[in-house]
Chains A and B, each alone.
Chain A
Amino acid sequence: MHLRFRFNKSGKVRFTSHRDVARIWERVLRRAGLPLAYSEGFSPRPRLSFGLALSTGYESDAEYLDARLREPIDFHDLPERLSALLPVGMDVTGVVEIPSSADSLQQAVTSCRWEVDVIGVDEQIAAEAVARALAATEIVVTRERKGKQVTDDLRPGVLALDVLEPTESGCRLAAELGTQPRALRPAELLNALEPRLEALVVRRTHQWITAGDERCEPLAIAPSPATSNIEVS
């Protein structure tokens, strides 16, 4: 049986790394007594796969995890049970069974929506920077990759960019950034804006799978009767 979980990550626990989160999940699933399927070989590991890594320090409402089980289980109460075992700041907000043929999260997800609290600028300056970026035909950056300088155009990855509202120390932006072939990270975009903006809090609000004109979140790919997509406030 293949299950897909959605969970959030906020507060102090956001300072745990992607690898730490993976280890936290392994322990939590074992504590919950789930019949995890293990890989073969010298060092068998539970067959878990996480989607796009969330940068350390970022918050999220939309993290996903696929877990393979040895046998079918009743999973309707899992969000509650697992949330009780997870650290403060991590809660499971949904779980569905997915077909074993489903694309991995890494392959399937096409974009992420982010909310970014930038500091030290007012709404107007931020709005100008956003407008300049959207008007540009290309946003070329150079970065180091495996010791070599490579140039990248970030513009195709910027699917949407807005100023949402003012905050106490600056303002909040919303951005939808593409993840294929390479996930564009909010920090990269902020660095490339004119003027360069600095983020205080970054929060992933959604991950989207787009196919043609249809767009759905990763839990929605399941055959609907088996879902248990509860909302946890």
Chain B
Amino acid sequence: MKKRVEYLITTGGLTVLYLVIMLLIVVGVLNGYYVGVIIAIGINIIVASSLNLATGFLGQLALGHAGFMAIGAYGAAHLGKYLMAVLVMPDFIKGIIVLVSCLLFGGILAAIAGLLIGIPSLRLRGDYLGIVTLGFGEIIRISIFNIEAIGGARTVLGIPKLVGITQIFILVAIVLAALYLLVRSRHGRAIISIREDEIAAEAVGVPTTFYKVYGFAISAFFAGIAGGTLAFYQGLIDPKKFTFMFSVEIFIIVVLGGMGSFTGTVIAAILLGVMNELLHAVDNWRMVIYAVVLIAMMIFRPKGLMGTYEFSLVKVVKDYIAKRKNQKTT
């Protein structure tokens, strides 16, 4: 099958999925509350898949993704507020331009932070790197609390609400596609080889230090985009959101879904998103239940829900065609 056909199948599948969701909204099956839940899940998918790149594919324990998200959120929000006031053009076009440019800006800020933290700390391994990234996340949070110019400890208000169900759908599709394409390239192979065996990777010509920083910065970039998306969806930023526990929640999504599977991350994000809503009544016990789920997972399926398996619509179609051919010949 030609590559072009394969891309068309994937795009077609996504379009159908989008139309189904829109239809359910128009018919009234999904009300505003459900749409809110779906958007929250979408943002979690973006940030968790970005963490999966650093943890699942590159193999580096990173516990500070809430920090990168916060940087992206603040960068995107403040630039967005400024641009909305300055630019003069039709609202629809202005919305798109502001959204795209601000998300990129937030992502790039987060990526720069990722470089700054990555270059000195990626010589560390395992637990040590985890502790450094954890500390970094806290530094970001406390810094934001103390910088009055960007809002300090107060909630940042007046951010344009530019993200709805359509935008989130497109963003999730773009981010997942970008990560998927990245992983299936020479860069992706270099990243995975570092997870598998750093010494062997270096011995067959992979510049491991470069690729660790590279993978970490790209991971931070997409986490920043997730942060910006969150800000433009809520129309406000609550600095108290980006705590260590939030980083852990993202981490749990990755571990549950499977380190090294974006499909798993999507499924786990949906499962935990739905579970979150069902557990509102027992909010105090939420983290306890998370912990129990995680322990059960480690005992019964330590690889995560999907391991490293990736769902592919193209593969399903191919298998179906092959099956049909078999039936015809026999």
Q: Are the chains A and B members of one assembly?
A: no
